[in-house]
Amino acid sequence: MQRMRQLVKDHTSLSEAEIDRLAEVTHTMQLLADLSYADILLFCRTEGGAFMVVAEAKPNTAISLYSENRVGTILDEPENPAVVEVFTVDSSQEVAKQSLDGQQIEIKAVPVIFDKEAIAVLSREIKLPGPTSEMEHMYMSMADQILKMVSNDELVGMGSPSFSTTRTAGDGIMKIESDGSIAYASPNAVSIYRRLGVEGNLVGRRIQEISRYEEAVVRALEAKRVRQKETTERGRTVLRRAIPLLDNGNLTGALAIVRDVTDLRRRDQELRIKEATIREIHHRVKNNLQTIASLLRLQARRLRSAEARDALLESVSRISSIAVVHEILAGQEAETVDFGELVGKISDVVLQGIGTHAELKVEVKGKSGMVPADTATSLAMVVTELMQNAFEHAFTDGRAGTVTVSLERRGRRLDVAVADDGVGLPKGFDLASQANLGLQIVQTLVHDELNGELKISSNRGTKVRISLGVPEREKET
């Protein structure tokens, strides 16, 4: 859809309103493709006069004629004379038969009319011999009517984003006459109604008498607008959708699509419960960690030995930064975190623990993108240690300074660098032999938990670079 808008903007002189109309039309294309077992393509005329595919829908109910994606391609004129005809002559419909890679196909092209002008052409490409069964003929005739409505600027709300025009294999399809009597019901429709307790033949009966939940169809016939309604009856959740069929403004009937969404809704609910439970667990983990940190802090206060006190306070900030990860996870739905957001909070925790002077600041540059919770936890500990080191060792002479955390994400790769502009590492510092607990924790986490690499360098100040792979999660839409 975004692609369509961009293509049309870049290559044609169509206005915003015209592009909006095309967006509505694209919304109906999948339904058309599924009902007619055909590829549906939307063509626009470029400023140079060429014919460009700006959107396509492949049927879920049949095999597409094309293995490749055709959006953005320019039509070779002899390849599709019907489309060219509709654009060049003021034709309301063109049908052509031709062969494509040895297959006979039929192309039907209709203009998309807006303000009495053809702004685009919709084409439907069917592999011949076309529909054979009664069911296929029924779908095809409804598809023909809908195609005509789309081209005639009679979208009746089909293009609105709140009306879903997608089909799935389990959908039941019914053809309803204008008086509400059922002319055809697909086997899926019959079995969905049977689950709802409706026995016997559907064909011939009036939809209003079938059940009291037929509001979608009834209202669609009355208002000549699409309707959809989800209801729960006899423990099953059913989504009913209806598209009125118009012929030059006259109601000829309706297409009704019924879908049993019981399992889907049940899974939705299970997922929501699971997510809420996970959030609650994160919340409790955070509370427990904070309790542990408070206990250690109390104990630290009672110690005389400065060394022992510092050791405990360091543990306090190690634990607190893990708590920060859980706090963020508890506040959101996904099991992934934007690590960049965490860094700011971690630095607060570290500064608090050390009680350092005001001349020090932390800067975060770049973006980490989303990382899984466990990666974020390990990474948070690593960054805590590195910040702690910078504050503890880099600015010993009381000078002002900055710790910079740089994040860079390239696909699955995440680079994290923690740099300071302090005194630098001691001369001849050797990571393998001179690391104390802090850098040992860092190395273990980077190598064993994060499967990453670590480099430490000292020029003006100290810089630690970590590079790791972040598992890709499915994109949230």
Contact residues for Mg ion, defined by CB under 5 A:
389, 438
Residue nearest to Mg ion (CB): 438
Distance in angstroms (rounded) separating the CA atoms of residues 295 and 306: 18
Identify which of residues 45 and 463 has a Cβ nearer to ligand ATP in the complex: 463
Distances in whole angstroms, Cα of residue 291 to Cα of each of 54, 127, 277, 287, 317? 59, 69, 21, 6, 13
Given candidates 300, 435, 449, 467, which one binds ligand ATP under the rule CB under 6 A? 435
Distances in whole angstroms, Cα of residue 469 to Cα of each of 408, 412, 443, 451? 12, 5, 16, 7
Q: Which segments of 335-441 are extended strands (E)? A: 336-338, 360-366, 370-372, 401-410, 413-420
Closest CA to 342 of 370, 318, 317: 370
Identify which of residues 334 and 441 has a Cβ nearer to ligand ATP in the complex: 441
Q: Per CB under 6 A, does 314 bind ligand ATP?
A: yes
The piece of 17-25, 166-174, 284-292, 388-396 that touches ligand ATP (CB under 6 A) is 388-396
The piece of 60-68, 203-211, 360-368, 385-393 that touches ligand ATP (CB under 6 A) is 385-393
Closest CA to 228 of 255, 209, 202: 255
Q: Per CB under 6 A, does 436 bind ligand ATP?
A: yes
Place of tokens 């739905």: 333
State the binding partner of 401 from Mg ion, ligand ATP, none, CB within 5 to 8 A by kind: none
Identify which of residues 132 and 459 has a Cβ nearer to ligand ATP in the complex: 459
Q: Per CB under 6 A, does 316 bind ligand ATP?
A: no
Q: How far is the CB of 297 from ligand ATP (least distance, A)?
A: 16
245, 179 in Cβ contact below 8 A? no
Distance in angstroms (rounded) separating the CA atoms of residues 275 and 337: 15
Residue length of the chain = 477
Q: Per CB under 6 A, does 462 bind ligand ATP?
A: yes
Q: Per CB under 6 A, does 57 bind ligand ATP?
A: no
Residue nearest to ligand ATP (CB): 438
Closest CA to 416 of 318, 350, 343: 343
Q: How far is the CB of 263 from Mg ion (least distance, A)?
A: 53
Number of residues located near ligand ATP, criterion CB under 6 A: 18
Q: Per CB under 6 A, does 50 bind ligand ATP?
A: no
DSSP 357: -
Closest CA to 257 of 324, 393, 360, 166: 166
459, 424 in Cβ contact below 8 A? yes
Distance in angstroms (rounded) separating the CA atoms of residues 227 and 256: 10
- Residues 134-173 binding ligand ATP (CB under 6 A) are none
Closest CA to 345 of 291, 387, 397: 387
Q: Per CB under 6 A, does 422 bind ligand ATP?
A: yes
Place of tokens 């069964």: 133
State the binding partner of 390 from Mg ion, ligand ATP, none, CB within 5 to 8 A by kind: ligand ATP
The piece of 61-69, 133-141, 358-366, 420-428 that touches ligand ATP (CB under 6 A) is 420-428
State the binding partner of 425 from Mg ion, ligand ATP, none, CB within 5 to 8 A by kind: ligand ATP
Given candidates 187, 197, 344, 426, which one binds ligand ATP under the rule CB under 6 A? 426
Identify which of residues 337 and 439 has a Cβ nearer to ligand ATP in the complex: 439
Distances in whole angstroms, Cα of residue 451 to Cα of each of 36, 125, 412, 438? 51, 51, 13, 18
Q: How far is the CB of 169 from ligand ATP (least distance, A)?
A: 59
Q: Per CB under 6 A, does 437 bind ligand ATP?
A: yes
Closest CA to 311 of 299, 321, 323, 320: 299
Give me the phi and psi of 163, to 5 degrees please.
-105, 125
Identify which of residues 37 and 391 has a Cβ nearer to Mg ion in the complex: 391
Q: How far is the CB of 393 from Mg ion (least distance, A)?
A: 7
State the binding partner of 285 from ligand ATP, Mg ion, none, CB within 5 to 8 A by kind: none
Q: How far is the CB of 408 from ligand ATP (least distance, A)?
A: 20
Given candidates 147, 394, 407, 466, which one binds ligand ATP under the rule CB under 6 A? 394
The piece of 48-56, 75-83, 149-157, 391-399 that touches ligand ATP (CB under 6 A) is 391-399
Closest CA to 175 of 137, 148, 212, 149: 137
Closest CA to 408 of 371, 450, 447: 371
What does the binding site for ligand ATP look like in residue numbers (CB under 6 A)?
314, 389-390, 392-394, 420, 422-426, 435-439, 462
